[in-house]
Amino acid sequence: MTARNSLNLRPVDPASLDAVAALEASASPEAWTRKALSDSLNAGHRGFMLCNDEGQPLAHCMLSVVLDECELLIIAVVPEHRRQGLARTLLTQLIQGEFAQHQWFLEVRASNSAARELYQKLGFESCGLRRAYYPGLNSPQREDAILMRRLPTMHTKGSDPSAYAGV
Ligand SMILES: CC(C)(COP(=O)(O)OP(=O)(O)OC[C@H]1O[C@@H](n2cnc3c(N)ncnc32)[C@H](O)[C@@H]1OP(=O)(O)O)[C@@H](O)C(=O)NCCC(=O)NCCS
CATH of residue 146: 3.40.630.30
Cβ within 8 Å of residue 68, ≥6 positions away: 101, 102, 103, 152
The parent domain of residue 10 ranges over 4-163
| pTM greater than 0.95 (yes/no) | no
Give dist(CA 27, CA 123) in Å, integer.
24
Ligand 1 midpoint to CA 109 (Å): 13
Ligand 1 midpoint to CA 84 (Å): 9
Q: What are the Cα distances from residue 56, in Å, to 12, 39, 96, 136?
A: 12, 22, 24, 32
Span of 48-62, 72-86, 113-127, 151-165 with lowest mean pLDDT: 151-165
Which protein residues touch ligand 1 with a CB less than 6 Å away?
27-28, 75-77, 82-88, 108, 112-115, 117-118, 121
Number of domains in the chain: 1
Q: What is the pLDDT of residue 138?
A: 85
Ligand 1 atom 43, closest CA? 76
For residue 157, pLDDT over 80 is answered with no
